[in-house]
Amino acid sequence: MHPADLNDFDLLTRTLDDVCVGDQAAGRDAAKELSELCRSAGDAHDHADRDAAAQRVASMSAGELMGVLRYSTARFHLLNKAEQLSIARINRDRERDASLDAPRAESLLDAVKSLADHGIDGPKLRELLGSIHVSPTFTAHPTETRRRTVLYKQQEISSALHRLRRTDPTPVEQDAIESDLRRTIGLLLVTDDVRARRLNVIDEVNNGLFYLTGTVWDALPELVRQLEDAARTVHGDSFTPLDRAPLRYRTWIAGDRDGNPNVTAEITRKALGMMRSAAIEKFAAELIALRHELSISTRRADIPAAFIRKVEDEGTEFIDDTGDSFLEHARFEPIRVRVMQIRGRLLRCETYTSADLSRDLDEIDGILRGIGLGEVASRGRLAAIRMRVKAFGLHLATLDVRQHSRMHEAAVTELLARAGVHADYSSLDEASRIETLSKELKNARPLVSESADLSPETTEVLGVMRVVRDAVSREPEAVESYIISMTDAVSDLLEVLILMKQAGLLRLLPDGKAESDLDVVPLFETIDDLERAPSLLREMFTSDAYRRQLAAREAVHGTAFQEIMLGYSDSNKDGGFLMAKSALHVAQREIAGACREHGVTFRLFHGRGGTVGRGGGRANRAILAAPPESTNGRIRFTEQGEVISFRYAMPEIAGRHLEQILHAVMLSTSQEPNDPHAGSDAEKLAGKLAKDAMRTYRALIDDPDFWPWFSNATPVRHVGGLPIASRPVSRGGGSLEFSKIRAIPWVFSWIQTRYLVPSWFGLGTAVGSLGDAELGLFKDAYRSWPALTAIIDNAQQEMARARLPIAARYGLAAPHGEAFHGRIAAEYGHAREAVLKITGQAKLLDNVPVIQDAIAARNPWTDVLNLIQFELLRRHDNADDAERERLTPAILASMNALAAAMQSTG
């Protein structure tokens, strides 16, 4: 068959097979043999062919197993890329077939038309969009196992396939494309999957810049253009263009220091400088391209004399290496000269800000419109650059700082003691703490001098504050939020205000008011924290000291404003899947109520993981499932690890992801702030089931024998050895145990073994307790209540990805294996039965057969990887130290391979 006639994956795998030689060919042949045995075994719990595959694996040397891993990993990388390309192609086909009467589902045109059908005209739509602030937030959490060199090679493969599919190549061109594929896939096969060293924080910054200056930079102005096009298609000239980007990116990379000693004040300073430099470099290149585009001559157009004089007066002071030659060529083209003057200021003036850049570009926009080139201004390169300035500024992405509340407490305790305010602040009860801090927050003087000799820990805490102070003095949007992990008292926020005052970020004025450069953001992470959050917010809002902070930030937000972060990962680890979902849903509504009671505008920041076990799933559906009271157009959510690389690897995928998010926010923001399910019988029942599910979940993980079983049954002991991030896998160091392990390696380990317990466990027992009437109520709610629909559909997708016949090999081999595997398998059976009853389906994922088929196609090859990993772990446990050291690289390679196969880690 001719290569052009093959589908993407068949073409890629045929090429992969062709480039395998020598030992690679042996690994290929063994991988295919083993996958056929696993395919024959199917879903059976006990099958001779799967046992035969396991015996074959047990007979192979570590080198032979590595050959299978390398081939299989490359094959999954190619499969994942082929699936991305298929998604992009399907979206393109649907867009081509769309019309105003039948817009593509979840598109911007669909949103605008739906809003118009509900009475929102052009001016009202413009007002609605003006209230929308969406902030995807990149984090460096260790969930991307692929090296950047692998990502680059996948991009090259994607580019080659684009050229093959979207053009009509000549035979010579087709030969060149096929050669590119062979070369790149051959290199992929001999490229290490596991890094030679652990990533450091600056590596993580560079990874973030890879996407922010790539697909994100390209996608955002295109998204705004599509939104304005959709609005004009529906509303005509009654819709006026947007003057700001509805999306702005933020980042935790090099700002999140909670439990990561590698994120220091100096690292944060360096990261801020790197992002500014990257933004300046991108805008400098954009301005060169803009200079080429705006070839407008005074001999052909009536450019205002005042503008010409301004350009002449500034002359060449800031124009860089173009010199007199450029001015000679452009002597009748003052707009071109002005563009180069702007570029020179951008590159040479330390005091040049994003506001200056925006103002200079706005002036050119006005000139173009004044001489009749409105479409050049609104549709050309200038419009894209102006929107990028509004979205990215000269900081590229706003950096958050996050730190644990106990670090602030320790620093404030030292400062108050040194200032003679209180000898041991940490010994005070909450009421006394608030009284002490409130008094200090009326006093403008610093507690100690900036040169005071303090402990290293306090010096570091204040050092971060001073780095932020320097950054916001130049670009106020460079850092905007200070997030407090494990917030459980008002004093946790007042302590940060004390530190801000000490560093000059909070300034008390003679009239009793204040100026503040940062929003202070509480983070509620555990189930208890979420339940107490509304009452804590009410305490905050009635604190005079904290109200002064809110009033100070009105200058920035135009209103009393509070951001609140909700932790999805730790709440799931703490209370289990169903309880976390329920607690988060209720918390969102009640937090919104507490804010509205006190006249505070709010923004919820959703700390969602990449996987369902850490609060993940499709972001747009989560937005639509949120309580209407909590949806006000202001929203933040984390994007991390393999989620970033999937959603932002290709411009088409990135654009579609952002389109779906904006579609959901537009629709949810237009809803009446009234949740029809609040207090309903269905919600009360869901709350009861969540508590039942949590009891079942906690009974499992609180069993004294559970951790010994888990640590032996899963590769959790090896997760810390995978060099994928700068962040330690456990809080506080020391021994690895449930109370210390972070949510990411917790979920990662369950996924590797194919149990996926955090994504569904407890659901079956809870639903199994329902009577017929209650079950009927739940079935109706599944069809009418988006929040419940999302919960059940997320659970069934993860249950479909789970693989109990494979997981049993891990679970039964560990101490107490019969007991724990038996409990998990029984609960899985109950959960499967519950989901099928609620949905009315015959099998899991009957509602999404495409995903159902994709999982089935992946299973045999993924099963092989599990058999290999299990064998390697068994050998490692029985080996001496020298042999263990030799086996470790293969174990890490198996973890990378399974991450590629499952398309998720933590």
Would you name the residues annotated as active-site residues? 141, 573
The Cα–Cα gap between 424 and 567 comes to 31
Q: Residues 6 or more apart from 857 whose CB is under 8 A from it?
A: none
**Looking at the DSSP assignment, which residues form a beta bridge with residue 134?**
247, 635
Strands (E), 120-265: 133-139, 250-251
Task: Give SS3 for 754.
Answer: coil
Instruction: Dump strand ranges (E) for 114-210.
Output: 133-139
Whole-Å CA distances, 742 to 186, 201, 258, 309: 37, 18, 11, 62
- Neighbour tally for 614: CB within 10 Å: 31
Interatomic CA distance for residues 164 and 180, integer angstroms:
11
Kind of pairing between the strands at 514-516 and 519-524: unpaired
Cβ count within 10 A of residue 145: 26
The residue behind tokens 């395998």 is 20
Please, are residues 82 and 73 in contact by the beta-carbon 8 Å criterion? Answer: no
β-strand 514-516 against 506-508: which pairing, if any?
Answer: antiparallel
| Rounded CA separation 170/175 (Å) | 9
User: Residue type at 658?
Assistant: L
What is the SS3 string spanning 325-371? HHHHHCCCCHHHHHHHHHHHHHHHCCCCCHHHHHHHHHHHHHHHHHC
Task: Write the CA distances from 591 to 497, 535, 565, 584, integer angstroms.
Answer: 22, 9, 11, 10
E strands along 613-675, which residues? 634-640
> What is the Cα–Cα distance from 25 to 30, expressed in whole angstroms?
9
324 contact partners, CB below 8 Å, separation of at least 6:
316
Cα 133 from Cα 662, distance rounded (Å): 10
Would you say 757 and 828 are in contact if contact means Cβ atoms under 8 Å apart? no
Instruction: Tally the C-alpha atoms within 13 A of residue 31's C-alpha that lie toward its C-beta.
Output: 26
